[in-house]
Copies of this chain bind each other. A is one copy, B any other.
Amino acid sequence: MVGVWPDNRHQAAVLRLLRDGGPSSRAELVEAVGLSRSKLGLEIDRLVERGLVEAVGPAASRGGRRSSVVRIATTTRFLGIDIGASTLDLAVVDGEMRMISRLTEQTDLRRGPAKVLAQALELVNKLRADTGTTRFAGAGVGVPGPVSFREGVPVSPPFMPGWHRFPVRETIATELACPVLVDNDVNIMALGEMHAGIARSFDDFLFVKIGAGIGCGIVVGGQVYRGATGSAGDIGHTSVDPHGPVCVCGNTGCLEAFFGGAALSRDALAAAQSGRSPQLAERLAEVGTVTSVDVARAAAEGDPYSIGMVRDGARRVGQVLAGLVSFFNPGLVVVGGGVAGIGHALLAEIRGVVYRSSPPLATGDMPIALSEMGDEAGLVGAARLISDHILTP
């Protein structure tokens, strides 16, 4: 692939099939693309000549003349960059979106985009060296805030001073000399789940991320739906209680003001200091701080107060989700992000509220499941995002 684009839609179709299905015989590709054997053969030959595809060997006999097997060039390299609230997560994947090498480092987005992107590009250089990559076919970048997808710039992201309209795409594209796309982190996680996760066979689904904040990726007809101005999926500031706490956004009773990593850490500290949770108080005394991770652990160990916090938050997430399920009627809801690590206690409560509140026609066949990809979803999704772009002639 190596920075070169397909000449036409038939070549693009072949490359997508090889990306998603791995090595395939020419006969299988002919069947899937629906072009004549001779015409598609010429296109595949051209892809081989250009080094985008390589021959593997003869296929298992299906009777008659043996078809040969081809695959995406094994030298193909995509880059995924997942910029989180406090971490940089980067991976090099091959043409079949399999992870070749990965690096994670702490960061602080408040240092501003210039420093954070410089740190990311240093990690890219390490990855280049590790994997012997001279050139990436493309790079996908996720940032934890609203993004103008068309322009590749963040738009008024909260807690990210200096990032508003900073040319993230341009900065990275100039450095790497390859196509780059920038998207909201939740959207790329949804893409990752569609590519390699539990949403693989779904065209219309919701991916709910419960991390430091809460957001939603919307997939319609196999495509991420970004809305009129790119802010679709912003569910963290949906009001769940008009008499609730004041949120950082200025409104009261937003979902994020109740739940998500930040709210959970705040409540955990209060519970530890007041002694309402002996487990959390002990933890606070030991290490000087408590976070959502400690709540998850205490809940798993049976601490009633921590279980109550998880249940209460999950119920509010379920309340918002119930409305979205009625509205959007998805085929599947995937719950991911750091807080989703709390696991089945969280899931059980969300399921209870949604299945009870949404109409039977919407929930009848709709699973609500935990992500099995964890933080790999963002990296695979970022690579998938840019490869989709490149493979659109």
Contacts and interface: CB of A to CB of B under 8 A. Distances in A.
A229 B364 contact: yes
Interface residues of A, number: 43
Interface stretch (A50-58, A287-295, A319-327): A319-327
A118 to B, nearest CB: 27
Contacts of A320: 323
Interface string A56-96: 00000000000000000000000000000000000000000
A156 interface: yes
A319 B238 CA distance: 9
A331 interface: yes
Interface in A204-233: 204, 216, 218, 220, 225-233
Contacts of A251: 356-357
A356 B242 CA distance: 13
B323 A227 contact: no
Contacts of A365: 228-229
Contacts of A220: 220, 225
A78 to B, nearest CB: 27
A233 B323 CA distance: 10
A234 B357 CA distance: 12
A233 B327 CA distance: 4
Scoring A156, A357, A364 by chain B CB atoms within 10 A of each residue's CB, the highest score goes to: A357
Scoring A228, A322, A362 by chain B CB atoms within 10 A of each residue's CB, the highest score goes to: A228
B329 A359 contact: no
For the complex of A and B, list the 4 residue pairs with the smallest distance between their C-beta atoms, beginning with the closest: A227-B329, A228-B331, A232-B329, A231-B361
A41 to B, nearest CB: 27
A322 B234 CA distance: 11
Nearest to A236: B326
Contact of A237 (B225, B326, B364): B326
A155 interface: yes
Contacts of A339: none
Interface in A342-372: 356-357, 359-362, 364-366
A235 B326 contact: yes
B156 A234 contact: no
B359 A231 contact: yes
